[in-house]
């Protein structure tokens, strides 16, 4: 599992050249007798960049999710009545796009 995670991280690193990636793959995969040593060397030598890439992916995923939720939760129609806004929120709840807490927040906002 560690080897799979390392290989995934290795190919997601855009700062590493193709030749260096090849050397790492050879070092990690083809050293059948010492795979744990190869993984340990990789983790020690590249741990900071690995953590930074994982954090960047997490941040990007979070931003995409928040953008999606905002686009779904907004009505898009400034002239919609509170009843229309609650009905749209109910449709989102029924579709499973939002949960009950988000529905309650949208309903309170529409009725305020």
Same domain, 59 and 98: no
Same domain, 56 and 88: no
CA contacts within 13 A on the Cβ side of 9: 22
In 1-50, which ranges are E strands?
none
Same domain, 56 and 92: no
> Model's pTM, two decimal places?
0.41
Same domain, 52 and 89: no
Q: Does residue 6 sit within a domain? A: yes
What is the mean pLDDT of the segment spanning 80-93?
87
pLDDT higher than threshold 70 for residue 68: yes
pLDDT higher than threshold 90 for residue 32: no
Q: Does residue 68 sit within a domain? A: no
Q: Does residue 70 sit within a domain? A: no
Structural domain range at position 88: 79-111
Same domain, 10 and 53: yes
What is the mean pLDDT of the segment spanning 98-103?
90
What does the longest C-alpha to C-alpha distance in the chain come to? 70
In total, how many domains does the chain have? 2
């Amino acid at each position: 599992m560690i080897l799979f995670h390392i290989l995934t991280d290795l190919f997601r690193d855009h700062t590493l050249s193709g030749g260096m990636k090849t050397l790492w793959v050879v070092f990690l995969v083809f050293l059948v007798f010492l795979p744990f040593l190869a993984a340990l060397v990789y983790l020690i030598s590249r741990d900071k960049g690995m953590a930074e890439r994982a954090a960047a992916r997490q941040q990007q995923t979070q931003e995409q999710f928040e953008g999606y939720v905002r686009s779904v939760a907004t009505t898009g129609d400034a002239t919609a009545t509170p009843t229309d806004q609650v009905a749209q929120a109910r449709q989102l709840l029924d579709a499973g796009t939002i949960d009950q807490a988000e529905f309650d927040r949208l309903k309170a906002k529409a009725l305020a």
